[in-house]
Amino acid sequence: MDAPFAALLFVISVIAIIFIWIFWTFSIGAGWEPTSKRVVKKMLEMGEANSGDIVYDLGSGDGRIVIEAAKRYNSKAVGIEADPIRVLWSLIMVRISKLQNKVKIKWGNLFNQNISNATLVTLFLWKDSNQKLKPKLLSELKPGSRVVSHVWKFNGWVPSKVNLKEQIYLYIIGESDRYA
């Protein structure tokens, strides 16, 4: 095999891997778009994160929400992420932040993970993913648990608080869903 052909084959392989990686994350519920640090802080403030909370971030990406919850609010936190590369990156960031005793990162599909320990759930998924997630939230979360969604609302639920500028919605299980 000559060098130009090998180089072309390498480039095509890399492009194919990147395309498959991106398409795969879209197919499981949401592509990765990092939440700004400003919005992360506002989400945790709106959810009234505190040291007694167990914060779950569904589709945790690079771990920025769970790391912030542990650092700023002294919460225990769990990130659930399906992308193994982002899981690895999150684990590295948790270690660098020295938060291994406060933050856990789980690799897997968020729809297949038990979230019943959560007192505060954060998410930035897609509209359809939020709708698909509603039965899971209702069956696994205790009344009074808070759910903070960035950008997408839960159809049929009434948010307890709204930040229209940042598109952040707070829902409380047992309250926000009672009219659904």
Torsion of CA 74, 76, 82, 88, to 10 degrees: 60
Q: Are 170 and 147 spatial neighbours (Cβ–Cβ below 8 Å)? A: yes
Q: Where are the domains of the chain?
A: 37-172
* pLDDT > 80? residue 12: no
More confident residue, 9 or 156: 156
Averaged pLDDT for residues 132-150: 97
Q: Are 61 and 36 spatial neighbours (Cβ–Cβ below 8 Å)? A: no
* pLDDT > 80? residue 69: yes
The confidence band for 28, taking pLDDT boundaries of 50, 70 and 90, is low
Averaged pLDDT for residues 37-56: 97
More confident residue, 176 or 7: 176
- Report residue 7 as tokens: 């180089």
The confidence band for 52, taking pLDDT boundaries of 50, 70 and 90, is very high
- Report residue 114 as tokens: 């038990």
**Stated pTM of the model:** 0.84
Residue type, 3: A
Q: Are 65 and 44 spatial neighbours (Cβ–Cβ below 8 Å)? A: yes
- Cβ count near 130 (within 10 Å): 24
Q: Are 22 and 42 spatial neighbours (Cβ–Cβ below 8 Å)? A: no
User: What is the architecture, at CATH level 2, of domain 37-172?
Assistant: 3-Layer(aba) Sandwich (3.40)
